[in-house]
Structure 1
Amino acid sequence: MSNPIREKRLLDITGADDLEQLRVIREREQNKLAIQLSASPADEVVESLNELHDALIIQSLKLAENELARLGLGAPPVPYTYVLYGSGGRYEQTMHSDQDSGLVYEDAADQADEERFRTYFSQLAETVVRYLIGLGYPPCEGNVIASNPEWCLSLAEWKKKLDGWFADPSWENVRYLLIAADGRPVAGSLELAGKLQDHFFNDLLSHPVIARRMMENTLRHKVLVGVFGQLLTERYGEDAGSLDIKYGAYIPMVNAFRLLAVQAGIHETSTLKRIEALRQANLLTAEDADNAAEAFSFFLKMRMLTTVSDEEGQLIGTGKIPPEQLTKEMTAPLKKALKAGKKIQLRVQRELQRRFGGR
């Protein structure tokens, strides 16, 4: 079924030939979606918002390719794919979104081509990252970004990097593997992206010890609901009384379903799609899947409410619901959703103990 609003939005973006036009479109469309959030299902708004982000990134890539052509570097010498990680990879970005990205390109036949490809794609990545900063997408604080040479590699180099992370399951390497598990191609060659994802899952099968490391990392953030169902809000500082919805609700569920899905060989990166795939694989009961999807959709909506503007008008995500918003009408569904999230976490913990022993 056609959606005139969606079609108009995409036409405006694909017709934009400079960054200023794209920035105006982003601000205008996000304002519209913010108004819709109070009246529409959260997952529908999140889907529209992420479609907007994707379209802006794709058009920025086209503008970056045009810029390199004007500089005399020509068109991309081989197929490549631009990959999103983090909430972008999971199709769960909010109004405020930073850049978690990588780039993978086809292998070269000889050393001369290798240097030529590296030069081109390094410059392409630097250009598009700069353009996206101009649109209001700040770079990833952890430097997981395509302009970092460590995240802009040929397919063979990427495979070698994944092999190294799996071979040495240090805390940092496991964190990178969990980031890689959320990788989603937003533009370019789907075949190339598929080869990289297949390599990830093949490596996972041949390194069973990595599962325990992933589980230990997954259980680091706890759902903020107490034994008696009370909300565990911030106790001290300027955020006293607020609830950390990002790290106390959203991230624990992201981590749990990522782990369950990856261990099951499920290639989906969206948390809601992972839940559905786990249901289809009979790894979640219909009741658990419905409860989890309902709770997670609620957390997505709550996360949207934590976006504010700073003194310069730049959107920032606090990740925390202030105490004045924790009304009686909000806390009842919030407690219900948190209890569902805690149940999932306990299930993952039991799985850890069943497979590997320990606490």
Structure 2
Amino acid sequence: MKNTIAERILDFLKDFPPFDVLEKEQLFKIAENVKVIHLEKDNFIFKQNEKPHLNFYVVKEGAIGLYRTMDNDQILVDICDEGDLFGLRPLIQNDQYLMSAKANEESLLYAISVEILKEIIKTNDKINKFLIASFATNIKTPYANKDRQLFDYEEISDSNLSDIQTADYSKNPITCTKNTSIKEAAQIMSTKRVGSILIVENKNPIGIITDKDLRLKIATGLISIEAKVTEIMSSPVITFPINITTAEAQIAMLKHKVTHLCITKNGTPNSKLIGVLSEHDIVVLHGNNPSVLVKELKRSKNINTLKYIRNKTSNLLKSYIEQHIPITFISKIISEINDVITSKAIEFSIEEMKSEPPVKFSWLALGSQGRKEQLLITDQDNAIVFEDVPEENYKTTKDYFIKLAKKITEKLNFVGYEYCPAEMMASNPKWCLSLNEWKNQFNTWITKPTEDAVMLCTIFFDYSVIYGDKNLVHKMSESIFKSIESYEIFLNFLGRNALRNPPPLGFFRQFLVENNGEHKDQFDIKSRALMPLVDAARLIALSHNLKDNNNTITRFEEIANAEPQNKDLYLNCADSFKILLHFRTKQGIENNSSGRYVNLNKLSKSEKLKLKGCFKPIKDIQDLLNIRYNLAQMM
């Protein structure tokens, strides 16, 4: 007799790894034995420290949050949704669960027999490697590239894992000597409130004692508490160098069945102890994982969650900067989070309106957010474009979108994005326009390039669609390029604007600093270094009709391909921009500011030299613009 329920389960599982690499007979055997579990919101499937189940789980519908309880706080480590696996611990390492699994919303789960999968693993090496990689790294679909080659467990490295962060280990490990008694060591651990103590000899780690050792070996009476620590310490210790990634650490803990790793100067036991990395540290870091933050954002139900996650994003940014993660990677991550926050603020605001939007519209991020370069929390720059409507419907349509925009900007302000002092926001009727109005506005700015018009173009040309109908924005973009094509002298005016700030160094190679005001004697890294590069990239990209990407680094890379004769200059500009953006972000974090103004007296000699090294491409690109657009004649 046909088992239609099993076949429906099979149809679902076959589209998700690792089930997609199974033979049909193997998959059907699993499907026949699946238990379907319905879970109400906030109900647990298992709890931390609970004995392992006979099953692991796949999410059919809904969302399951994985939480680690620490100091009575529940830390969200990951969110599993459709097709994700969780609860793999009894399959790989048969001991207590390290986390709790709770339904974040009403959910439907497939419980899959551990024993049946263990049988299949014996004959299917691919699924074995998948489960090890998935368990160790929290990666749901660990495929290295488009041809879907599974990771080789023995060769997993930070270059092919999504979590490329250096692990954030404790840099002040608690230590004792081998002559210390177990009682003394336990007292030190209690006083310092730590779960482990390292035994050192000549500053090198020779062993480790954890809370688990005290429970199993001392509390049970097997060994006297007056004995030396060498009686119960685990030795030799597992050691790694300081640049170990989170993923490598997880795999090492799994492989060696340990919960602590020693960080030493050269990564061997025969070198100076630098720190210790625990499972606790890994869990805390994963609670701040960008993919987890984005998932949590997308499922958020209120504005308070947006603010909470934006604050966590600031911590993530600080961590990335400290670890010297490439700025292009940082920009993509932070920009994605910023965009999702904005999208959710829009969704919440639409829900508050008494009716759905009357016509199609798009929400545009302008300026640094539009270029995907807004790393620190700065003020808002945004606009709305809505579908053209008959004249008799125009006022009510515009009124709707202005009201909506006010709700959105209020929410963004609550999250932490300050209102724009110049009111470059969609809540301003000047920047909430129909498609045809925007076309006319841009055409006026381009064909009548007054100083104010050119300044506005530098803001409004750098837009990206955050929410809504992309086709509207595509039509607007086509109109802009058409206007520029018919009035090419506009590029000369943009060029003149790009030279409004001279190169950052004076005649004697001294930094050009502010002469007066609040920031007297400070260096304006935004106006004097970053914006000349932003302006140059925008201008040359427009001249080559390069569309759909407003990011400064990407613009320079694209125009390097368009002008191979100037390739080195453009790529040097891109590199300089990366360094300057990283520097500004670091300054902002350290000084709890926008990072715009730099106190040169607080910089080291090497930092000043590094900055100066970024300035030559600025001078060279400005020289190129000066010649190309005959700007000397316009000054």
TM-score (norm 2): 0.52
Asked if the contact 1:225/1:342 (under 8 Å) is kept, the reply is no
Q: Does residue 480 of structure 2 align to residue 204 of structure 1? A: no
Q: Does residue 336 of structure 2 align to residue 55 of structure 1? A: no
The residue that corresponds to 1:250 in the other structure is 530
Range moving further from structure 2, 295-304 or 230-239 = 230-239
Cα deviation, 1:199-257, whole Å, max 9, x if unaligned, reads 11111111123222212211101221234543333455664543211111011111111
Q: Does residue 598 of structure 2 align to residue 321 of structure 1? A: yes
Q: Does residue 566 of structure 2 align to residue 282 of structure 1? A: no
Q: 1:34 to 1:170 in 2, by over 3 A?
A: same
The residue that corresponds to 2:612 in the other structure is 335
CA deviation after TM superposition for structure 1 residue 103, in Å: 0.3
Q: Secondary structure at the match of 1:185?
A: strand
The residue that corresponds to 2:499 in the other structure is 219
CA deviation after TM superposition for structure 1 residue 348, in Å: 1.0
Q: Secondary structure at the match of 1:305?
A: helix
Q: Does residue 400 of structure 2 align to residue 116 of structure 1? A: no
The residue that corresponds to 1:90 in the other structure is 371
Q: Secondary structure at the match of 1:92?
A: coil
Output the CA distance in 2 between the equivalents of 1:92 and 1:207. 30
Q: What is the one-letter code of the residue matched to 2:341?
A: L
Output the CA distance in 2 between the equivalents of 1:235 and 1:122. 41
The residue that corresponds to 2:193 in the other structure is none
CA deviation after TM superposition for structure 1 residue 82, in Å: 0.5
When the two chains are superposed, the root-mean-square deviation of aligned CA atoms in Å is 2.2
The residue that corresponds to 1:38 in the other structure is 322
Residues 18-33 of structure 1 mapped to structure 2, 5 A cutoff: 18-33=302-317
Q: What is the one-letter code of the residue matched to 2:373?
A: E
Which structure features the higher share of strand residues? Answer: 2
Cα deviation, 1:179-201, whole Å, max 9, x if unaligned, reads 22112111111111111111111
Any stretches of 5+ residues in structure 2 without a counterpart?
1-143, 145-160, 164-288
CA deviation after TM superposition for structure 1 residue 290, in Å: 2.4
Match of 2:454 among 141, 150, 174: 174
Q: Number of residues paired by the alignment?
A: 349
CA deviation after TM superposition for structure 1 residue 29, in Å: 1.7
Cα deviation, 1:147-187, whole Å, max 9, x if unaligned, reads 00110111111112222222322111121222221121111
Asked if the contact 1:94/1:303 (under 8 Å) is kept, the reply is no
Q: Secondary structure at the match of 1:37?
A: helix
Asked if the contact 1:181/1:262 (under 8 Å) is kept, the reply is no
Q: 1:144 to 1:325 in 2, by over 3 A?
A: same
Q: 1:309 to 1:104 in 2, by over 3 A?
A: farther
CA deviation after TM superposition for structure 1 residue 142, in Å: 1.8
The residue that corresponds to 1:16 in the other structure is 300
Output the CA distance in 2 between the equivalents of 1:284 and 1:181. 27
Q: Does residue 439 of structure 2 align to residue 159 of structure 1? A: yes
Output the CA distance in 2 between the equivalents of 1:322 and 1:3. 36
Which structure features the higher share of helix residues? Answer: 1
CA deviation after TM superposition for structure 1 residue 119, in Å: 2.2
Q: 1:37 to 1:309 in 2, by over 3 A?
A: closer
Asked if the contact 2:318/2:589 (under 8 Å) is kept, the reply is no
Asked if the contact 1:278/1:284 (under 8 Å) is kept, the reply is no
The residue that corresponds to 1:307 in the other structure is 588
Q: Does residue 406 of structure 2 align to residue 129 of structure 1? A: no
Asked if the contact 1:81/1:186 (under 8 Å) is kept, the reply is yes
Any stretches of 5+ residues in structure 1 without a counterpart?
none
TM-score (norm 1): 0.90
